Structure 1
């Protein structure tokens, strides 16, 4: 019985952390400045909507925390920590590597973490980078930085 109470406590603590993230993200999204004439919704709409959804789901999780998995150990813990580490590294290298280099690094690293062979991870990373470059640069007409290394 005490294990069940502990699980609920951990679930509720996680829900409160998610709620705090949702509030911070919503405030950050709501403060984005933009020219109203560019788009009726503007860049604020998407982050604010995501914050509302995350906040609502975290409140549901706070009320009904459900069962909580055990904290991973060993190799599983390394895999769990590797994804945010790869994300932080790719963000930190975004300016020197540009969009393509950072996207390649992120997708290649994630593929390796999830157990892809190096050859498949390379192919997947190249294809993902090309796909997202095409979507953003050509379909959405978004400027993508080439990076300081690639001029």
Structure 2
């Protein structure tokens, strides 16, 4: 068995400065470090959230659009990256705040197929899917 801890998810974006601002402003992330591979015109920004997770935003001119799913079920028709998920204390207000900040609805808040979990999906301004999960009831049940 290999031991390790999940470190980050990488998203390819067309507007690196704009998406950096969006993730910092909406999710409370901060720039951890920036890098450039000038010989291939490739730039990136690693963002860090106070809760410890990281999102790496990557930009290379000439990149083409990949998955642009209208919902998570459609995203499952394409192999590879689908979405990343955030465990939040309450799905509904976070969903509303992200929509107000420019995210688009992909699945409104509702019960998850996982018992005791509430979920929703939004897409960031470039169409990357973000799942919101509230596992509060599950954690309370496990702690009892």
- TM-score, normalised to structure 1, is 0.27
Structure number, greater radius of gyration: 1
- Larger helix proportion of the pair: 1
- Larger strand proportion of the pair: 2
